[in-house]
């Protein structure tokens, strides 16, 4: 297992590579070219910039999150093939720098969704919050405006204002798209992409829907264990994998996260671990990584990954905003660094116990 840390790039993050390098156990950054419009090829020159910046601090760049999918591919439009060809070229360029994993998602319009970006908790920290009641009264336009006004002037991947400027037009395109049709469009994409990814030594790791249920009537197709199994079997290529995200799948209390890990470990090259606290009305807030602070079995998830031979990449996912840090919503330095240490501690306990058992046998 390798611990990584998401970094949004020089000039686009409140966090520096020097700070990330000082978090014990962190070996690499999870990155992307956030300024490249969706559908355009990532050039060798631009990729090299980030790779070389990270190398200066001894950090690998093995994981990319995300090479986003153009909406025409999700919609299955005739124009999708040109965007798929561009995606293949990007994968080939990434492979020249030893990239091992590409995380991506297939969520229509919005890559992720929260009603509040800085919801205050009892201890004075703030965190991303999904208000199940509030969402019923919000329009998509109101949501985008809220994101724009409360993002601390940081870009929010998946909420690019240029792309979302004509929401009415975007929603009209999805008006009659069913989950079955969206799934068919995803399998079409993967059948084209996976042979190239396999040749390049890259694992494609789809991110679950966040949250794992429909919002604003949009279809969702990576919500639970059944969806994951269907997707992995539909394109049975070793390059077709899953980004296990405890926070996304954990947005639905009915998802058995430990069982999902045990079932699909061999197809999980990348894991996002974060905790959420559930409320009776269906709302949830992102808490610290400690089991006691949220509703998810974080240590059991780590144990399941270890016991089933997980050898991929992990990053501490969204964290709270603590100690008056001004940062991108969900992506402060301090709480995610604490999260990395918590996860490494849980992993190290497994290593220690295994070593003791081995010693006893000897």
DSSP 285-329: EEE-SSGGGSSS-HHHHHHHHHHTT--SEEEE----B-TT---ST
**Taken in order 309, 183, 114, 255, is the CA torsion positive or negative?**
negative
**Per-residue CA distances from 129 to 5, 14, 25, 221 (Å):** 22, 21, 29, 22
* pLDDT value for 359: 67
Average the pLDDT over 265-269 and give the result. Answer: 98
Query: Mind listing the pLDDT tens digit for each residue in 279-307?
Result: 999 999 999 999 999 999 999 999 999 99
Query: Mind listing the pLDDT tens digit for each residue in 176-196?
Result: 999 999 999 999 999 999 999
Q: How far apart are CA 69 and CA 86, in angstroms?
A: 11
What 3-state class would DSSP assign to 62? Answer: strand
Catalytic residue list:
207, 245, 272, 317-318, 331
**Rg over CA atoms, the chain:** 20
Angle between helices 298-307 and 334-361 (to 10 degrees): 50
Per DSSP, 267 falls in state G
* pLDDT value for 147: 86
* pLDDT value for 362: 59
Q: How far apart are CA 29 and CA 10, in angstroms?
A: 12
Backbone phi, psi, residue 22, to 5°: -85, 0
Q: What's the CATH code, domain 2-361?
A: 3.20.20.150
Confidence of residue 158 (pLDDT cuts 50, 70, 90): confident
Angle at the Cα of 245 from the Cα atoms of 239 and 248, rounded to 5 degrees: 125
Average the pLDDT over 65-90 and give the result. Answer: 97
Query: Mind listing the pLDDT tens digit for each residue in 237-248?
Result: 999 999 999 999
Give the domain ranges of the chain: 2-361
Q: Buried (b) or exposed (e) across 276-305, using 16+ Cβ within 10 A?
A: bbbeeebbbbbbbbebebbbbbbbebbbbb
Q: pTM of the predicted model, to two decimals?
A: 0.95
Confidence of residue 203 (pLDDT cuts 50, 70, 90): very high
């Amino acid at each position: 297992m390798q611990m990584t840390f998401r970094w949004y790039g020089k000039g686009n993050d409140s966090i520096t590579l020097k700070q990330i390098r000082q978090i014990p156990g962190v070996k690499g950054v999870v990155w992307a070219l956030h300024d490249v419009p969706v559908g355009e090829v990532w050039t060798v020159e631009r990729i090299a910039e980030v790779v070389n910046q990270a190398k200066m601090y001894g950090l690998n760049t093995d994981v990319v999150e995300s090479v986003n999918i153009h909406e025409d591919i999700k919609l299955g439009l005739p124009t999708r093939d040109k965007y798929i060809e561009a995606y293949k070229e990007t994968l080939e360029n990434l492979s020249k720098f030893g990239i091992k994993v590409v995380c991506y998602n297939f969520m229509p319009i919005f890559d992720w969704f929260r009603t509040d970006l800085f919801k205050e908790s009892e201890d004075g920290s703030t965190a991303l919050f999904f208000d199940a009641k509030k969402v019923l009264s919000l329009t998509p336009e109101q949501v985008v405006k809220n994101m724009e006004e409360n993002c601390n002037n940081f870009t929010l991947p998946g909420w690019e204002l240029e792309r979302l400027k004509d929401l009415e037009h975007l929603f009209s395109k999805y008006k009659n798209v069913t989950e079955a049709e969206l799934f068919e469009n995803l399998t079409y994409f993967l059948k084209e992409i996976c042979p190239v990814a396999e040749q390049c030594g890259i694992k494609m790791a789809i991110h679950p829907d966040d949250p794992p249920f429909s919002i604003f009537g949009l279809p969702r197709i990576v919500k639970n264990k059944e969806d994951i199994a269907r997707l992995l079997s539909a394109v049975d290529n070793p390059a077709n994998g899953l980004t296990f995200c405890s926070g996304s799948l954990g947005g639905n209390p009915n998802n058995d996260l430990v069982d999902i890990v045990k079932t699909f470990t061999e197809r999980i090259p990348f894991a996002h671990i974060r905790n959420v606290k559930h409320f009776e009305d269906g709302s949830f807030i992102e808490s610290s990584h400690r089991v006691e602070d949220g509703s998810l079995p974080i240590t059991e998830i780590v144990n399941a990954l270890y016991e089933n031979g997980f050898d991929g990449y992990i990053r501490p996912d969204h964290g709270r905003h603590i100690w008056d840090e001004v940062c991108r919503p969900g992506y402060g330095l301090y709480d995610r660094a604490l999260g990395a240490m918590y996860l490494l501690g849980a992993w190290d306990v497994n290593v220690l116990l295994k070593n003791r058992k081995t010693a006893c046998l000897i």
